Amino acid sequence: MVYALIDKYYHDSPELHALLLRHSEQVRDRALRIIDAHPEMKIDREFVAQAAMLHDIGIIYCDAPKIFCHGDHKYIEHGWLGAELLRKEGLPLHARVAERHTGSGITAEQVLRDELPIPVQDYCPETIEEKLICYADKFYSKSHLDEELSWQKVRTSIWRYGHDAVLRFDAMHEMFESTTITDNNNNTIHGK
């Protein structure tokens, strides 16, 4: 389902299509590793696998030529634009993930304070699945696809969204990766 949906909107943009798939699979795979490490959390694995693939589907409407996006909108709009698309496609829960994954979430106060070009509302992840995808996304940059960021680097980058944003990131880190987990090759991804 998710690959067909991505193809529907990205088939005319092969470079962006490939980039979106690569990034989304990185996010999905990290999220699934965390789920597998925490069966007690009872996270909806199938939903996370789908929603992680679709969280950035709005980037095609944005202007970010370095990552092959040639739309008219500001990049920060990709969350809510992706959500609009997903609601139109009959996927309201996936839409919530798309609009709540930027930074560690964005509050309505922050939208007003920073005059962000998005509708004024709260965009903080609420469900555990929304939090997990928002969290896993922070470790992968679409402009440096081969890089996996350390949590210290992610935390530093979150400071630009303000102190509250760092606290939200710390809470998600504590929830999901406060103990050591490993990747498919048994390398340590993170240990606290």
Binding site for Fe ion (CB under 5 A): 56, 137
The least CB distance from residue 40 to Fe ion, in Å, is 27
The least CB distance from residue 183 to Fe ion, in Å, is 19
The least CB distance from residue 27 to Fe ion, in Å, is 6
The least CB distance from residue 139 to Fe ion, in Å, is 10
**Looking at beta carbons only, is 82 or 162 nearer to Fe ion?**
82
**Looking at beta carbons only, is 143 or 179 nearer to Fe ion?**
143
**Looking at beta carbons only, is 40 or 189 nearer to Fe ion?**
189
The least CB distance from residue 98 to Fe ion, in Å, is 9
In three state form, how does the secondary structure of the chain look?
CHHHHHHHHHCCCHHHHHHHHHHHHHHHHHHHHHHHHCHHHCCCHHHHHHHHHHCCHHHHHEEEHHHCEECCECHHHHHHHHHHHHHHCCCHHHHHHHHCCCECECCHHHHHHCCCCCCCCCCCCCCHHHHHHHHHHCCECCCCCCCECCHHHHHHHHHHHCHHHHHHHHHHHHHHHCCCEECCCCCEEECC
**Looking at beta carbons only, is 59 or 111 nearer to Fe ion?**
59
**Looking at beta carbons only, is 56 or 129 nearer to Fe ion?**
56
